[in-house]
Structure 1
Amino acid sequence: MASNSFSVFSRGLSTVMTLVVVSAVLFLPLRAEAANPRYASIVLDVESGEVLSASNADAPRYPASLTKMMTLYLLFEAMEDNTLTLEDTFTVSSHAAAQPPSKLWVRPGDKVSIKDAILALVVRSANDVAVVVAEGLAGSERAFAGQMTDKAHALGMTNTIFRNASGLPDDLQVTTAKDMAKLSLSLMQDFPQYYDYFSQTRFVYNGKTHTGHNNLLDSYAGADGLKTGYIRASGFNVATSAVRDDRRILTVVMGGFTAKSRDIHTADLLDRGFVRAGLLNRHDWVASADVFDSANAVSRLNTRTSTARAPAVAKSERDISTTAKTTAATRINAGNTEQAVDDPIQRMIAKTDGSSLRPMDAWAVQVGAFRDPNGAKTLANQAVRQLDASLSDSRVAVTPSTREQGVFRAQLVDMEEGQARRSCAQLIQQGMECMVVRADVGG
């Protein structure tokens, strides 16, 4: 793929979140997240680096086979350093051949070319080949995992620890949705010449055709990479990049109950992300958030990342204490108990017309300001649907701004002050900007 296709990636990540474009891109209700503690997601506009939406993006999660994106990053780096070519080979060890599926079923003593190794990792998600690459680059998988963690921290993935090259279960191997987004962007930005591998859905090895797990590449128009992952402890994960109308959106979804529900949810996030990113160019959002309870706000990405990379952290900084790592694992494992619950990723948010009337009170929640009154109404109705039942009977109001001609405020009105603040806090937790205002205050 031509490198100029990825000129947009050089801008890195951004957290210009003071003014955030808001449309219908929202997250699962808090009650749904409570039913699935493994769930996390993040949606980015690649060109601007804008975080379009996020849910539990900083919470510790198991990466599963998303780990192999870092294995590939270090392999691509070695190729760019001219130490390897696509025709070079690595030798399969007994340790590598003994890895559990998914695998390529290579045997001790076999030679695997670098090209086949890349395809096996991307398409087949082969655990045996991940170890082949690790041993070929670092001598041992343990040493390679240390290099992976060092590189992760150098890329700004400060909440990630790697313990193996494949993503097979390890309680101490943790990451976050945000960190996986950083890794995905780094792969696209730093190695655009290899990105096309992530669009492959099948390859032939020793006369046998191997097909991939990433069904979004076939089912979602514009999707062209990156990687899926699954272990029991993590649920179904996926990092996906897609292009529509010359705009690229990146999503990371973690913790799906099934591959199908994960893919449906990812497609929905992408659809909404494209809509929301489109509003960025129209400058529809002109209100800022009043984060009166910042402790409950959804975490943002770090300050805009420079294309220059930070130096790798020292090993002493990388090796966090066993207690800290065990705590992180415990937080994840709290969500691994199987429960008879609906799949919150697949379940659609129940619709309401937001027309219930309440006695007139003095407070409102403003969720945005649009130049199109229909857009304002759509957003306000969406905000109502994000609230718990105890708060969702607020009345939607679209009123002209008293401060700027041609701007319409999207508000939830007829609230008491405490109700307004609780409502805004709940919306902020789900990634939606809002501010609490008196009902008679213009926007």
Structure 2
Amino acid sequence: MAPNPSIATPRSHVVFIFCMLVSGLSLFASQVQANPRYASIVIDAQSGEVLSSEHADAARYPASLTKMMTLYLLFEAVESGRLTMESQLPVSAHAAAQPPSKLWVRPGQTIAVEEAILALVVRSANDVAAVVAESLAGSERAFAERMTAKARAMGMTSTTFRNASGLPDDAQVTTARDMATLSMHLMRDFPRFYGYFSRTHFAYRGKTYKGHNRLLDDYTGADGLKTGYIRASGFNVATSAVRDGRRIVSVVMGGFTAKSRDAHMADLLDRGFVRASLLTRGDWIAKTDVFGTGEAIALAAAPKARSVAATVARPSAPAAAEAAAVAQGDAQDDPIRTLMASMDHPDTTGWMVQVGAFSNRDGAQVRANQAATALRSELTNTRVSVVPADGARQMYRARLIDLEEEQARRSCQQLASQGMDCVVLRAGVGG
């Protein structure tokens, strides 16, 4: 089918985006295999289409993502008129005795509903989670039963709650898919309360508390939801972000560190937005496996692109090292590299490392700065470049430029080891 010029992105830019998305697949696959706690899912919030999933139905510990259900039931109580935002919730000895993170409320005190909401979202306070549970159900155990019943009513068939906070309990399990379902219910069922999930700090009794969710500051378009961690779960996060009017919800579970988890979530969101966009341009790219979920990749553009079109399957474990080299542009016969050779390039010299393409300049600037920061011990006076790409649909390329070839390749390898996709380019040859 011939391309429709009214909606199609110019071939060179579609191919560029495609190349960048493919580049991290092998490294990503090897990281997943090395981490038995890992799970993820990415969903288009409007259509409900699953854009990617990895172990999305495997049992995982929710950690403080549990508090999203605690908040759901608290929002429900306010919506029904049972509570108001000013209602005072009493603090018991059981609640005050919960381990950190906590607000350090004391037995006999009370806390207003709105303060409790902020304490759960921003501080992830375990003591306040118990306060809410006891206020709504009489005991935390009874509240956990309500939480599980609500989960079943939402279709979260693989989730069982045993407490209101997410503190360790071997029987308290969920899945990435169920946490994504809960995230979307929070947005759809209580839109007037969803704004609380974008809060990064709040004041309580003269003290200001800062949140744990760095994605709200670091990822352009992110506007909620929640982070979580216990030793058994690793670092979890549920995130919703909006770009060009499209909302995506994603869950990552089992990160080794908060930093690597956030970097991986940013990567999944980037890929999700691009894949969702490309799926609306089917006459340019027939099938796009930007996450490495096992589907074939088939370019269906103009004859020049067809001459080097390739089917790229998800790499097997033995091929991981070779595929990683291809991702960094080291394979001389790589068809992706051949496609990139026909693309426009900026007025720069030497070699460069490209770390993403974005629909807005701010997103590109953030990613370029993140890359430069990650390499600050290796590169001094690194030049960051955000380059607008030509075409009907504006894109911005995030780059580190004016490098020696060895510097560029070593830098890209280091970024890849930290979970950041990159590709090495030579000025005048590609990108």
Q: Structure 2 length normalisation: TM-score?
A: 0.65
CA contact (8 A) 1:27 1:54 kept: no
| From 315, 338, 345, the counterpart of 1:386 | 315
- Distance in structure 2 (CA, Å) of the matches to 1:141 and 1:27: 44
Q: How does 1:251-266 map to 2 (within 5 A)?
A: 251-266=250-265
Assess, with a 3 A threshold, how the Cα gap between structure 1 residues 374 and 69 changes in structure 2: closer, same or farther.
Answer: farther
Is 1:368 aligned with 2:367?
no
Q: 1:375 to 1:241 in 2, by over 3 A?
A: farther
Deviation at 1:371, TM superposition (A): 3.4
Cα pair 1:217 1:223 within 8 Å, conserved? yes
SS in 1 for 2:160: coil
Structure 2 residue aligned with 1:219: 218
Q: Structure 2 CA distance, aligned partners of 1:375 and 1:150?
A: 53
Mapped to 2, the partners of 1:27 and 1:149 lie a distance apart of 38
Q: Which residue pairs with 1:73 in the alignment?
A: 72
Structure 1 contact 377–396 (Cα < 8 Å) conserved: no
Matched, 1:45 2:44: yes
The reply to whether residue 35 of structure 1 matches residue 34 of structure 2 is yes
Tell me if 1:159 matches 2:146.
Answer: no
CA distance in 1 between partners of 2:309 and 2:116 (Å): 47
Residue identity opposite 1:79 in structure 2: V
The equivalences for 1:133-152 within 5 A come to 133-152=132-151
Q: Distance in 2 between matches of 1:377 and 1:125?
A: 54
Q: Tell me if structure 1 keeps the 8 A contact 2:119–2:128.
A: yes
Q: How does 1:285-304 map to 2 (within 5 A)?
A: 285-286=285-286
Q: Name the structure 2 match of 1:192.
A: 191
> Relative to structure 1, is the Cα distance of residues 372 and 141 closer, same or farther in structure 2, using a 3 angstrom cutoff?
farther
Q: Deviations over 1:383-403 (max 9, x none)?
A: 3573444496898779xxxxx
Query: Structure 2 CA distance, aligned partners of 1:375 and 1:164?
Result: 55
CA distance in 2, matches of 1:288, 1:209: 46
The residue correspondences of 1:1-400 to structure 2 (distance < 5 A) are 24=21, 29-283=28-282, 284-286=284-286, 366-371=296-301, 380=310, 383=312, 386-390=315-319
The size of the alignment, in residue pairs, is 303
Instruction: Verify the 8 A CA contact 2:26 2:314 in the aligned structure 1.
Output: no
Letter aligned with residue 297 of structure 2: V
CA-based RMSD of the aligned residues comes to 2.8
Relative distance call for 1:65 and 1:380 in structure 2 (3 A) is: farther
C-alpha change, 1:247 and 1:379, in structure 2 (3 Å) is: farther
For 1:293, the equivalent position in structure 2 comes to none
Q: Distance in 2 between matches of 1:161 and 1:378?
A: 50
CA pair 375-255 structure 1, distance change in 2 beyond 3 A:
farther
Q: Secondary structure of the equivalent of 1:210? A: strand
1:174-222 deviation digits (Å, cap 9, x = unpaired): 0000000000000001001100000000000001001000000011111
Provide, for residues 398-440 of structure 1, a one-character-per-residue CA deviation record: whole Å limited to 9, x for no partner.
9xxxxxxxxxxxxxxxxxxxxxxxxxxxxxxxxxxxxxxxxxx
How high is the sequence identity, in percent, across the aligned residues? Answer: 65
Q: Bigger shift: 225-234 or 245-254?
A: 245-254
Structure 1: unaligned runs, 5 residues or longer: 1-21, 290-296, 299-364, 399-443
The CA distance in 2 between the partners of 1:35 and 1:182, in whole Å, is 27
Distance 1:282 1:106 in 2: 54
For the 8 Å contact 1:66–1:180, the answer to whether it is kept is yes
- CA deviation map 1:342-395 (0-9, x unaligned): xxxxxxxxxxxxxxxxxxxxxxx94334336788899947x3573444496898
Contact 2:296–2:313 (Cα < 8 Å) also in 1: no
What is the TM-score when the length of structure 1 is the normalising length?
A: 0.64
Give the distance between the partners of 2:319 and 2:146, measured in 1 at CA.
50
- Deviation by residue 1:250-307 (Cα, 9 ceiling, x = unmatched): 1100000100000011111111111111112212454699xxxxxxx88xxxxxxxxx
Task: Describe the shift of the 1:397–1:31 C-alpha distance in structure 2 as closer, same or farther (beyond 3 A).
Answer: closer
Distance in 2 of aligned mates of 1:389 and 1:27: 10
SS in 2 for 1:130: helix
Letter in 1 for 2:34: A
Q: Partner letter of residue 186 of structure 2?
A: L
Letter in 2 for 1:57: A
Letter of the 2:276 counterpart: A
Distance 1:374 1:193, change over 3 A: farther
Contact 1:161 1:174 in 2 (8 A): yes
Q: Is the 8 A contact 1:29 1:386 kept in 2?
A: no
Task: Assess, with a 3 A threshold, how the Cα gap between structure 1 residues 201 and 95 changes in structure 2: closer, same or farther.
Answer: same
User: For the Cα contact (< 8 Å) 2:308–2:335, is it kept in 1?
Assistant: no
Residues in 2 aligned to 1:372 and 1:190: alpha-carbon distance in whole angstroms: 45
Structure 2, unmatched stretches of 5+, are 1-17, 327-332, 337-431
